[in-house]
Amino acid sequence: MVWFIASSCFGFEDRGVIIAAAGGGIWDNRAACGRRYRVSCTGGTNDVPNPCRSGSVTVTIVDFCPGCASRGVTMDLSQEVV
């Protein structure tokens, strides 16, 4: 059985696994829904030896991240992205 949690943008519609939730700085009152962003890892913040993959990946915004920094371009990435 697969469980889906409703997103702020698309409800229960499956948008794949290469997705992200936008922080307040890019959320823009849901205008960010469906936008695609190319993201790259610049290093970890938690002293993990290999915090992320090399290269970049394009993610689609499907949700709002209320816990992310409200300014700037903070995103909460799906596990499949990192």
pLDDT at 60: 96
The DSSP result for 55-69, as a single string, is SEEEEEEEEE-TTS-
Q: Percentage of the chain with pLDDT > 70? A: 82
C-alpha to C-alpha distance for 10 and 56, rounded to whole angstroms: 25
* pLDDT by 10s per residue, the chain, length 82: 444 567 899 998 888 999 999 998 999 999 999 999 999 887 766 676 666 777 899 999 999 998 887 666 788 888 888 7
User: Residue 26 — φ and ψ, nearest 5°?
Assistant: -120, -5
Query: 28: how many CB neighbours lie within 10 A of its CB?
Result: 11
**Helix, strand or coil, per DSSP, at residue 26:** helix
Name the residue type at position 45.
T
pLDDT at 2: 46
Residue 59 CB-density burial (10 A; 0-12 exposed, 13-18 middle, 19+ buried): buried
pTM score: 0.80
pLDDT at 45: 67
